[in-house]
Amino acid sequence: MSSRTATVTGPGFVAADFGHLPLRAGSVDAVFAIESIGYARDMPGLLDQVGQVLRPGGQLFVIEIFRTELFGVVPARARQLCAATERLLAFPDLWSVPDWVALAYDRGFEVTGLTDLTDATVPGLSDFARVGGSCSAPSSR
């Protein structure tokens, strides 16, 4: 056995309120926001804080629910149901993909990739929008 020892450091993790990140400026290489920033009441402020704590060249990874162009073409009743669901899930304001990307650029981020998971997470939504499907409340018995 060797008499030398090595210290290995790995990633650190911090769970925090994204309204106030308890991190020094330029202190992190990456921020992962997984199904969380949709609840931010101040998205510009959130992006400003993330931008401050990231080191130059650091990255923000986002997995989030955003509205896609399909929202505008689904029937009005389906949009109402979506809006009611958003309120139930406590989303203050659901961002569209183009609006969020524009805000990210405005706050100094470079968007290097987008992957729309709509068809994987909500199978049939594209077909629903294309044929003009509708939903109605179940009849009472």
- The pLDDT tens digits of the residues spanning 61-120 come to 998 888 777 777 777 887 888 888 888 888 877 888 899 999 999 999 999 998 887 777
The pTM for the full model equals: 0.72
Per-residue pLDDT band for 137 (boundaries 50, 70, 90) equals very low
Instruction: Express each pLDDT in 79-92 by its tens digit.
Output: 888 888 888 888 87
The pLDDT tens digits for 1-58 are: 445 555 546 677 777 787 788 899 999 999 988 888 888 889 999 999 999 999 999 9
Burial grade of 47 (CB within 10 A; 0-12, 13-18, 19 or more) = buried
- Measure Cα distances from 62 to 7, 47, 107, 115, 133 in Å: 31, 11, 15, 10, 31
The Cα 125–Cα 119 span in angstroms is: 7
CA atoms within 13 A of residue 33's CA, in its CB half-sphere: 20
| Adjacent-strand bridge partners of 59 | 30
